[in-house]
Structure formats: C-alpha cells, structure tokens
C-alpha cells in the first residue's frame, strides 16, 4: 500500500486495510487520499463508503495534530500558513514527524470546550468548505510555536483588511461565499481511450473511472478500433493523414484533460459556481501592501483566461445553433415552400387559355401526346419561374447553416414535388456537421480548460484558507476580540468574557502565573472560592476558552490578555458523586501523573473534593496542591468549597481568591461581583441565605438562625486563613 515517508494509511487511527482500500478506490489512488488529508478535504473523504463526515473530520484532525506535517519548503504545492499547504502527490519529501508531540487537549472536558468553540466559529462561515476548514483548527502546543506565530500573523493580517478596507472586504465576502472544493463528477463517457504502450496505459489508468482504456495487442492496428463512435488515440501507432471522424489524436504525454475532453468540460460545469466565484474574485480591485489582499492576488494570478473560457462553456460550436435550427425546421420549411410553388402555379394559370384551330385538333387526333406537349409548353414558363423562386427561398434557408442546396430538389412536372431522398441527404449532412462542430468545440474547450484545472484547484485551496482567516476576523470584530500576547507561563485577562453562555456576561479581570499583571497575582497555584452560582465554573471555562483560542492563534474575547505557552491543557470537571474505591484510585493516579510529569501545562479543576468525603478530600488535595506548587512548569486553578480545610491540611501559604456575593436580592438571587477578590475567602451561598433569614425572621426562629450564623463565623475564625493570605500578598 502506498505510503508517505514510511507512513501507511493503516497507520492512521482507526484505519484498517479494508477502509484504506475503499479510500483509495473512491479517491483514485493513495496519493489522492494523502492529498485530501493534507488539505482537510472532508467532503471528498466523506464520499468513501463507510466514512461519515464526522469520521472524515476526525481523520483530518488526527493527521494534522499527530505531528505528521509538511516541512520541505521546496516541495511542489500551494502556499499555506506553514509555507506549503500540500506537496506533490506521491512524493515522500516534505513530510516529517515531530517526536514527542502529544494532544494539547489532555482531557475530555478540554475537547468539549474546543468542540463548542469550533462550532461557534463555523457558524460564521460563508461556505461549507470554509466551515470544514475551521473545524480542522487545533491548538498548537509549545513545541509548535513557529506554526502558532505564523497563524497569528495570518489572522492579524485578515483583521487589518476587514477593519481598514471595509468596501473591499464586503466584495470579497460576497464572492467567497460561492467557493467550494473542486471535484470531478461521477459519469461515464462513450469515448474509448486507446494506446499501444504499457507505460502510457499505466499513466492513463486513472481515467478508467470515466471511460474504457484499452491497450492494443501486437496483432491489432488502429483500424480495428474504428468500430467505436468516439476514440482518443494516445501516442504512437495511430492513423496517419486523414483522421477518422470523432477521433482525437494526442501525444503520449498529453494531459489527461485532453485525452478525455468530455470529462474536462463536465468538470467545469460541475464546479461552475466555484469557478465563477474565482473569476469574480479576480476582478476585484484589491489594495496594495496589504498582506491578505496580496495573498488573494497571488492565489488567482494564473487565472487570466478563466473568465473568457467560462464564457465559452455554453457554446455548442461556431455554427451549431444555426445548424440545429435548420435541422429542426427543415421538413416544415421545405413542405411549406412546396405548397407555395403549387399555389403560385395554380394562381398564375387560373386565367390562362389554350386556343386550338381545326388543323390543331386534327393533328392531336393523329398524335395523342401533342395536346400534352402543347399544355406543358404553355405552363412551362410559369412552373419554372415558381420553382426558381422556391429554390432561392430554400437555398436562403439552408444558407443560414452553410448548407448548399442540392440540384433538382423540386421536380419540374406538375404538380412540382420535393425530392425526399435529396432532402434526407441534406439532413444527414447537417447531422455530420453538428457532430463535427460539437467535437471541434469540445476539443477547443478542453484545450483551454486543461491548464486551468490545476491553477483553479490551487486557487480554491488558497482562498479557502484566506476565507477562514477572514471569517475569524469578522467573528473577532463582532465579538470584540483582540489578539492575546503569548508569554512564558500562566494566563491573565482584562475584562474577559465567556463566549458560550447565550447572553452578554459580566466581564472579568483575573490571572495566575507569570502572565498576571499584578506582582501579587503571579502565584502558579490558586484556589477559587465563592458562593454557588457565583460564576466560579464560568470563570474556569472562560480561562479555558481563552487558552484554547490563544493556542490556535486566534483572537480572544477580552480587552487585553496574556497567555502562557503550554504543552497540555487539563480541564477537570466536577465529579457527579463520591467515587468508588477503584474509580478514586484511577482518578488519583491520573492527577499524580499530571502533577509530576515534566512539561508545561495548565490545570483548571472544578471541585476536586467531590471525588470522596470532605475530610479525606482535604488531606489528599493538600498533597496534590503541594506537588503542583513544587512543579516548575504547572499553573493550576481549582474551584473549591474546602479552602480553610485545605489551607490547614497543607501547611503552606496557598493563594485563595474569592468571588464575593454582596448578598441576595428579593428573589434569593445572588448579587455578585464576578471578578474574584485576590487573597479573599468568599462567603458561601448557605451562609448568605442564613444571614438573610436572620434579618427576615422574628422570635425563636431568628435566634435559631443567629446561632447557625455564628457557627459559620466560628468555623472561619478557627481555620484562620487571613494570616496566610496576608503573607501571600506580601
């Protein structure tokens, strides 16, 4: 099975030999499969029997993120964000695997957030092709910083075009909406392709999907193939001199587009909307010295003749319309002229008289044919005149298609009649000319289209890339996003917003690690406390979204942001309940691996204490947080309701931040400042509710709730986090 740099198709996750064979059969050859994977042609891959659109997307993502990537800038291909978007089919150069590259999205929760972000981005796409391209976007880890920076430049350039050249951007949006990946139609052609050489036959083998491809035997000549109505002879051994009708003679190295011209024209018609969009884009006047505009200009630079060729696409031939019209009307017009001849003669002869003397009568008695000859002589001039006029009319009609009038098509006897056999010969001549005109037009169009096929395919691929970046730029403008600053570690946002809540959330300013703007916020590990429904989980998700977007090279929803380069993102969702002993052991093993394995990573965890009972959880997690603090490359933010217990169990100066609720409104909804207060243990929702009940109740009930509220205060005093918090601030 064909491979690239030692990699077989079956090396791809979930691809067995059966699926690999189906992929090759459907797409043509193994190199076509690799090409589709390289450029992310999801639609083309989804045509494979048993391969759904989601599975095709997954394969393309696996190929893109597994470390197999283009590296040779000398490979023949389309320029993309890494210099080259696709290499020549079958080449083993230009592809290498970077060692030690694992998935950036290290947990299922991270994958879910990435999926939701991509779906949100894809909603803004103008075409299915662009939507599919956006779905391929994956975060770049620390080992692929060069590619990340290249992506950031492309996005920034696109944002410049949309913000500074609005009218041009509007024109581009309209035209780019018609872009789609080019494909070959499913069809069978009557034409038979014949050659006399094994190497030529092998080169022609891809055409077997569309027509018969034959290699002649040693005992055959080209004459044995005249039985076929349409033939393309490729290479040596073909006819010399006069070529049989509907034969196409081409060189052994002729492009496949000329070998099977009907397929080439069908390709243009099948992709007409996309080709018209290309032509439209080429006509747009683009600004100078704007990188994205220059990329578009470069993408369509080789399509100078596209507009004129598309204009010829509907042509049936230089004379085909006239020939077809004459053929359709031939018998009707001829019968009408025949009728007019007879009518003209009858009208001319209506007042005619024949005078006979006595001697004439006697002569006619002696010669029975004499009367007939006298009558014919008297009518000859009238009939000849009418036939001459009829010949002129029919000649004018046939002349529209360049057909000469046959001699003697009308009989001179009375009544004058059409010669049906002569008219049938005219009809045969028209059919032959129509076929010749069609063949010549087909060959001419194929010659003009063939060099454009590769150029159009390259242009489409490049423009899908450009449209993806312009779509992101439009989305960024709509969502008021900015390009984040990439730093050494941590994450910090100024007025950051959660993108997927369905409403405009309160902006939040927060950060941990070296990315944080305030020196006192640069601890690598922090605990986040606060009331239920106060926004702690939302804050975690917002930081995750910004981290993922930043590592994809995309803008983030904030006034400003700094994001540290990492290898992996771990998002740990709140457990649904206390875990069994086996599940708890497995969870702890995974946590330990995350916190002890080398590599820069960000850990965002939501109520880890839910994995077991509170007392044990505090002791276990205190040890885990200690490991995180000691790890030089980990930043960790954890939502917890056990901050005092964790502080006591750890014996360390843990940073504890709090989303503080000022109270409850009349509907018992929290009144919350969504931005966490640094080094502050926030009050819980139950405490706020008890405090509200103390204010609302009277008598013994009020006393009861006051005692309960005092318990909250005693617990806070006994855990005494204030001193530790102050020391962290210092």
Contact 590, 539 (CB under 8 A): no
The end-to-end CA distance of the chain, in Å, is: 65
Would the CA dihedral through 533, 539, 541, 542 be positive or negative? positive
DSSP 556: B
Higher per-residue pLDDT: 335 or 71 = 335
For residues 482-488, average pLDDT: 96
Superfamily for domain range 485-729: P-loop containing nucleotide triphosphate hydrolases (3.40.50.300)
Residue 405 pLDDT? 77
DSSP 394: H
Residue 674 pLDDT? 83
Q: What is the pTM of this model?
A: 0.77
**If you average pLDDT over every residue of the chain, what do you get?**
82
- pLDDT higher than 80, residue 653: yes
Instruction: Spell out a b/e string for 606-617, using b for 16 or more CB atoms within 10 Å of the CB, else e.
Output: bbbbbbbeeeeb
Three-class DSSP category at 132: helix
Sequence-distant (≥ 6) Cβ neighbours of residue 718 within 8 angstroms: none
Digit-coded pLDDT (tens) for 574-598: 876 666 667 778 888 888 888 888 9
75 pLDDT band, cuts 50/70/90, is very low
Contact 561, 494 (CB under 8 A): yes
- pLDDT higher than 90, residue 565: yes
Beta strands in 182-261 (DSSP E): 192-195, 212-215, 231-234, 247-250
Higher per-residue pLDDT: 441 or 430 = 441
Say how far apart CA 721 and CA 106 lie, in whole Å. 33
Task: Centre a 10 Å sphere on the Cβ of residue 467 and count the other Cβ atoms it contains.
Answer: 26
Q: Where in the chain is the domain with CATH 1.10.150.20?
A: 1-95
Superfamily for domain range 1-95: 5' to 3' exonuclease, C-terminal subdomain (1.10.150.20)
Higher per-residue pLDDT: 18 or 656 = 656
Say how far apart CA 303 and CA 311 lie, in whole Å. 14
345 pLDDT band, cuts 50/70/90, is low
Digit-coded pLDDT (tens) for 239-297: 988 888 889 999 999 999 999 999 999 999 999 999 999 999 999 999 988 999 999 99
- pLDDT higher than 70, residue 689: yes
Nearest C-alpha neighbor of 194 from the set 219, 212, 220: 212
Say how far apart CA 21 and CA 15 lie, in whole Å. 10
365 pLDDT band, cuts 50/70/90, is low
Q: Are strands 508-512 and 7-8 parallel, antiparallel or unpaired?
A: unpaired
Three-class DSSP category at 502: coil
Task: Centre a 10 Å sphere on the Cβ of residue 58 and count the other Cβ atoms it contains.
Answer: 16
- pLDDT higher than 90, residue 42: no
Q: What percent of the chain has pLDDT over 70?
A: 82
- pLDDT higher than 60, residue 366: no
Extract the tokens encoding 524. Answer: 């690598």
Q: Where in the chain is the domain with CATH 3.40.50.300?
A: 485-729
Q: Where are the alpha helices (DSSP H) in 367-502?
A: 370-399, 420-479
Digit-coded pLDDT (tens) for 394-419: 778 777 777 777 776 776 666 767 77
Say how far apart CA 569 and CA 547 lie, in whole Å. 8
- pLDDT higher than 50, residue 79: no
Digit-coded pLDDT (tens) for 80-98: 333 323 322 323 233 344 4
Contact 140, 104 (CB under 8 A): yes
Edge to edge, the sheet with strand 231-234 lists 212-215, 192-195, 231-234, 247-250
- pLDDT higher than 80, residue 504: yes
């Amino acid at each position: 099975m064909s491979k690239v740099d030692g990699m077989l198709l079956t090396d791809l996750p979930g691809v067995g030999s059966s699926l690999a064979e189906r992929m090759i059969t459907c797409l043509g050859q193994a190199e076509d499969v690799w090409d589709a994977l390289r450029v992310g042609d999801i639609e083309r891959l989804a045509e494979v029997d048993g391969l759904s659109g989601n599975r095709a997307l997954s394969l393309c993502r696996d190929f893109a993120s597994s470390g197999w990537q283009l590296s040779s800038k000398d490979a023949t291909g389309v320029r993309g964000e890494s210099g080259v978007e696709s290499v020549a089919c079958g080449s083993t150069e230009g592809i290498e695997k970077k060692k030690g590259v694992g998935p950036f999205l290290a947990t299922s929760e991270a994958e879910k957030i990435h999926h939701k972000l991509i779906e949100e981005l894809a909603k803004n796409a103008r075409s299915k092709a662009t939507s599919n391209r956006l779905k391929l976007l994956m975060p770049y880890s620390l080992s692929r910083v060069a590619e990340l920076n290249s992506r950031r430049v492309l996005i920034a350039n696109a944002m410049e075009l949309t913000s500074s050249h609005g009218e041009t951007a509007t024109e581009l949006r309209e035209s780019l909406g018609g872009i789609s990946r080019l494909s070959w139609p499913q069809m069978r052609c009557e034409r038979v392709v014949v050659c006399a050489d094994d190497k030529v036959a092998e080169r022609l083998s891809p055409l077997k999907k569309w027509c018969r491809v034959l290699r002649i035997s040693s005992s055959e000549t080209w004459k044995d193939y005249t039985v076929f109505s349409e033939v393309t002879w490729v290479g040596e051994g073909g006819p010399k001199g006069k070529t049989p009708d509907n034969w196409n003679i081409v060189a052994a190295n002729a492009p496949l587009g000329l070998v099977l011209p009907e397929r080439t024209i069908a390709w243009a018609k099948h992709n007409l909307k996309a080709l018209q969009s290309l032509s439209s884009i080429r006509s747009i006047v683009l600004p100078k010295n704007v990188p994205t505009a220059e990329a578009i200009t470069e993408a369509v630079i080789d399509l100078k003749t596209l507009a004129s060729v598309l204009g010829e696409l509907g042509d049936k031939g230089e004379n085909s319309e006239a020939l077809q019209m004459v053929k359709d009307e031939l018998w009707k017009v001829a019968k009408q002229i025949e009728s007019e001849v007879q009518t003209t003669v009858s009208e001319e002869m209506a007042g005619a008289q024949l005078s006979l003397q006595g001697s004439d009568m006697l002569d006619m008695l002696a010669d029975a044919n004499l009367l007939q000859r006298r009558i014919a002589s008297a009518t000859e001039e009238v009939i000849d005149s009418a036939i001459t006029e009829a010949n002129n009319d029919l000649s004018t009609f046939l002349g529209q298609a360049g057909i000469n009038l046959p001699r003697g098509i009308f009989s001179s006897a009375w009544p004058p009649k059409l010669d049906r056999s002569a008219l049938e010969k005219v009809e045969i001549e028209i059919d032959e000319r129509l076929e010749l005109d069609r063949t010549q037009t087909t060959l001419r169009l194929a010659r003009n289209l063939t060099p454009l096929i590769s150029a159009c395919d390259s242009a489409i691929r490049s423009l899908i890339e450009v449209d993806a970046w312009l779509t992101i730029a439009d989305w960024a403008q709509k969502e008021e996003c900015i390009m984040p600053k990439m730093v050494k570690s941590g994450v910090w946002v100024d007025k950051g917003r959660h993108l997927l809540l369905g409403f405009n959330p309160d902006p939040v300013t927060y950060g941990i690690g070296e990315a944080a703007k305030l020196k006192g916020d640069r601890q690598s590990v922090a605990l986040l406390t606060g009331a239920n429904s106060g926004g702690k989980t939302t804050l975690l998700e917002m930081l995750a979204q910004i981290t993922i977007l930043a590592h994809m090279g995309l803008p983030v929803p904030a006034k400003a942001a700094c994001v540290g380069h990492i290898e992996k993102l771990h998002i740990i969702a709140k457990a649904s309940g206390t875990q069994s002993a086996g599940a708890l052991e497995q969870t702890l093993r995974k946590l330990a691996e995350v916190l002890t394995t080398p590599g820069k990573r960000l850990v965002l965890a939501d109520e880890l204490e839910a994995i077991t009972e509170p007392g044990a959880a505090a002791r276990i997690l205190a040890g885990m947080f200690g490991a995180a603090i000691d790890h030089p490359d980990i930043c960790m933010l954890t939502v917890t309701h056990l901050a005092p217990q964790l502080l006591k169990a750890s014996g360390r100066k843990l940073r504890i931040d709090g989303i503080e609720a000022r109270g409850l409104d009349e509907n018992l909804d929290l009144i919350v400042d969504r931005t966490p207060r640094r080094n502050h243990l926030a009050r819980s929702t139950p405490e706020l509710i008890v405090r509200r009940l103390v204010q609302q109740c009277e008598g013994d009930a009020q006393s009861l709730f006051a005692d309960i509220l005092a318990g909250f205060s005693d617990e806070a005093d006994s855990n005494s986090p204030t001193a530790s918090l102050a020391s962290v601030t210092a």
